[in-house]
Amino acid sequence: MFLCGLTAALCGAKLSEGVFVGTFLSMSSTAVVSKFLVEKGSTNALHGQVTIGTLILQDCAVGLLFALIPVLGGSSGIFGGMMSMGRLLLVLSIFITVAYMMTWSFIPRFLKLMIQLSSQTNELYQLAAVAFCLLLAWCSDYLGLSLELGSFLAGVMISTTDFAHHTLEQVEAIRNLFAALFLASIGMLIHFKFLWNHVDILLAAVILVIIVKSIVITAVIKSFGYSIRTAFIVGLSLAQIGEFAFVLLSRASHHHLIGGKMYLLLLGTTALSLVTTPLIFKLIPVVTQLGILMRWFPSESGVQNEEKATMLDVYNRTL
């Protein structure tokens, strides 16, 4: 964010626009990345845990970014923006606390009751699980937080119960349907004529975003003591621009923070980066194997030992 702001200032552009673009580019896609991690069975791996943790922090920051946009657009003062951020932090803390309390008191009993009522058919349990997730997502959005944060918390709350595996089996078909609708909605946002007329700029922008984000994220993860292999995989996994960037773009355009051409350029770059994400995930095993052969990365046995040591170190820090 600050790097883009500094670059914009040096190039003669607006500092506020540069800060917004940096904020915009820093977001990654929770929905897409989580789906691929689940499909590849990497959620329990060290790089999967780091990736998911980073995505959670990004989702928590979405509400703060919404409060920052009016300040950058000049429609709200700095004091008003700081007050909005403070209020959102307070709401976020209360929301997470209430969700934590419900996890141990209400959720297990609720799911057990739904299983008892749906002994003959599974439709009731499916509807109850989906309704609970949608309700928590709506509450999160109503409080000024992100929809994804509420949805993620709903999943975490269910995962702590004994019915987590059963729930996942029941909602798998619905999950795939929502994923298809999400990708279809991205396609609807693309302006084909603009893409065709500026295909060279958009391709260069997507390649630049993927390379720069991968390098920056890899360097940051490596600085926390993780192996270069783990940092590299996390960097590639988070190289795309997240779906919440569409909402940020809409808010920024409403506050006249960015112009029409910049809006379409960022919109096309985001859509194309999301489209390239499946290809990146397919290339990750190939690149990591190449790195092992070239001795850039440690071997599989060395990686497993390093992951165990890292997890043990993290566990000891939490004690």
123-180, pLDDT tens digit by residue? Answer: 788 888 888 888 988 888 888 776 767 877 888 888 888 888 888 777 777 777 777 7
- In the three-class reduction of DSSP (H, G, I as helix; E, B as strand; rest coil), residue 28 is classed as coil
Task: Decide if pLDDT at 284 tops 80.
Answer: yes
- Cα angle vertex 276, ends 249, 45, to 5°? 100
Residue 72's pLDDT band, with cuts at 50, 70 and 90, is: low
Please report, as a single letter, which amino acid is at residue 61: A
What does the domain layout of the chain look like in residue ranges? 2-203+243-276
Query: Cα separation of 70 and 16, whole Å?
Result: 11
Q: How confident is the model at residue 292 (pLDDT cuts 50, 70, 90)?
A: confident
Q: Which CATH class is domain 2-203+243-276?
A: mainly alpha
Q: Residue 268 CA to chain centroid, in angstroms?
A: 19
Structure token digits, residue 146: 């992100």
d(CA 185, CA 177): 12
The most distant pair of C-alpha atoms in the chain lies apart, rounded to whole Å, by 67
CA geometry: angle at 271 spanning 270 and 272, to 5°? 95
- C-alpha 200/C-alpha 244 separation (Å) is 25
Over its C-alpha atoms, the chain yields an Rg (Å, rounded) of 21
Whether the CB-CB separation of 233 and 47 falls below 8 Å is answered with yes
